[in-house]
Amino acid sequence: MLNENCGLFAVYHKDSSFNVSAQIIEGLIALQHRGQESAGIAVSNGENIQTYKGMGVVNDVFPKEVIKRIKGSFGIGHVKYSTNGFSNYANAEPLTVKYKGEFFSVAHNGQIENSAFLRDLFEEKGTIFFTTSDTELIPHLLVTNLKGAPSTWNPENIAKLIDKHISPSYSLLLLFKNKIIALRDRYGYRPLAICETDDAVYLASEDSAFKFFKLNNSKIREVEPGEMIEINSEGLKSYKINKNNKYRYCFFEHIYFARPDSNIYGDNVHLMREKLGELTAKEHPVEADIIVPVMDSGFSAALGYSKASGIPLELGLMRNKYIGRTFIDPDIQERKLSVRRKLSPVKEVIENKDIVLIDDSMVRGTTMKHIVKMLKENGAKKVHIRIASPMVVNTCYWGIDIPDKKDIIGANKSKEDIKRIVNADSLEFLSLQYLSNYLDVKVANYCFHCFQT
């Protein structure tokens, strides 16, 4: 099972009488694909912070009365998949704590690599943890090293502490009663974007979340790796905390996680996925009647494969839009049930056809085995699988939560074994070498750990 990471969203409105709660919730809806376990917001009116969160998707967590009750001109929000910790209310974010008579809140996307070491270190000193989330390490780190009330803490000191002690990956939002601080780790594993308009400043895991707002004279860019942003009533300040230039952008954001209309790491996600499909067609051509994408994440790659190969694209599998992304579900049995009800073959399209089945990635192989079975039961003569990414052969500890190596089919089986297991007529993956050649000099900026033994 390939688990999702999390989504971050923040607003600082220049009008102190404006209530940003509705905007944060709207931003979280745009980022719902990044986490469906829990959602939460923390909002400040300049004096106090109010937090509201719950288990489930955004529309279920926030009743309309929340917008009227949780008021403030700036705040942060979070949608979660628990890459480190259990799925429960205590782990839902933002985490809000009280120290020296003031509340402050933290929202985190990523996974802290040295979390076990830090937790042991704090516990040896008598610290009590109230969650199993690695995010809780951050408030403990701050309160044990900084003096005075949280609103008086120096932003650079905050960022330097985190950079020194917290191992990537992380993109962070911190809310204080008088400001918002955003920080991206020195390697840039997880994306984070900022948008300045005439009226407000927005932050989000993906820039597609900004499209729901009035972007008058907007300036949109990515927060740089190692950069810290401070936003308060005086405006926006940027600090370069770590000038490391060896980036490690997670390529799985392009393959699977991000929305197609987002721009991350300097490229549009849809166009990158289309290019991955084109590269797969060039590296692994096959004769067939139609191209069929595994909806929805395989569509862009299938479009690229179709354009490059000249084989027509057909929607031979229809997706029930009311079923969540199966990889995102933390319960394996529920995920398997979701697979069975998620996709429906269109017999009239696939019957008596040789099919090229395109998907973005393969981790366990269980989903693909079921899809091939459905296609052949509905009359497909041959099913040639083309995966528009390299074979996943390793775990990931930096915010994706790819399972133990024993659960990764590519780490334990050869390509021929996998082809036989899923009952495909042929199976090919875009090779890492072919992808690297395309990326050229950009390849040095990406993390491909999950594709390498």
Q: What is the pLDDT of residues 228-241, one digit of tens each?
A: 999 999 999 999 99
pLDDT score of 344 more than 60: yes
Is residue 238 within 8 A of residue 253, CB to CB? The reply is: no
Sheet holding 179-184, edge to edge: 95-99, 102-110, 170-176, 179-184, 227-232, 235-240
DSSP-derived secondary structure letter, 428: E
Is residue 305 within 8 A of residue 280, CB to CB? The reply is: yes
CATH of 7-247 among 1.10.10.10, 3.60.20.10, 1.20.1440.230, 3.40.50.300: 3.60.20.10
Give CA–CA dist 359/389, Å, rounded: 9
Please state which CATH class domain 270-451 belongs to: alpha beta
Q: Residue range 130-150: average pLDDT?
A: 96
Domain ranges of the chain: 7-247, 270-451
Cα 103–Cα 126–Cα 183 angle in degrees, nearest 5: 45
What is the residue type of 68?
K
Q: What is the pLDDT of residue 397?
A: 77
Is residue 137 within 8 A of residue 111, CB to CB? The reply is: no
Is residue 202 within 8 A of residue 213, CB to CB? The reply is: yes
Question: Where does the pLDDT of residue 398 fall: very low under 50, low under 70, confident under 90, or very high at 90 and above?
Answer: confident
Give CA–CA dist 271/85, Å, rounded: 34
> Beta partners for 228?
183, 239
pLDDT digits (tens, 9 = 90+) for 71-115: 999 999 999 985 555 678 999 999 999 999 999 999 999 999 999
Q: Residue range 13-41: average pLDDT?
A: 96
Q: Residue holding tokens 């050869």?
A: 414
Question: Where does the pLDDT of residue 269 fall: very low under 50, low under 70, confident under 90, or very high at 90 and above?
Answer: very high
Answer whether the bond into residue 199 is a cis peptide, omega within 30°. Answer: no
Question: Where does the pLDDT of residue 331 fall: very low under 50, low under 70, confident under 90, or very high at 90 and above?
Answer: low
Is residue 107 within 8 A of residue 139, CB to CB? The reply is: no
447 counts as catalytic: no
What end-to-end distance do the CA atoms of the chain give, in Å?
19
pLDDT digits (tens, 9 = 90+) for 192-238: 999 999 999 999 999 999 998 988 889 999 999 999 999 999 999 99
Is residue 316 within 8 A of residue 359, CB to CB? The reply is: no
How large a percentage of the chain has pLDDT more than 90?
Answer: 85
DSSP-derived secondary structure letter, 324: P
Question: Where does the pLDDT of residue 327 fall: very low under 50, low under 70, confident under 90, or very high at 90 and above?
Answer: very low
pLDDT score of 3 more than 70: no
pTM of the prediction?
A: 0.92
Q: Residue range 24-46: average pLDDT?
A: 96
Q: What is the pLDDT of residue 245?
A: 86
Q: What is the pLDDT of residue 18?
A: 97
DSSP-derived secondary structure letter, 212: G
pLDDT score of 130 more than 60: yes
Catalytic residue, from 6, 250, 396, 450: name it.
Answer: 6
- Do the first three CATH levels of 7-247 and 270-451 match, i.e. the same topology? no
pLDDT score of 306 more than 80: yes
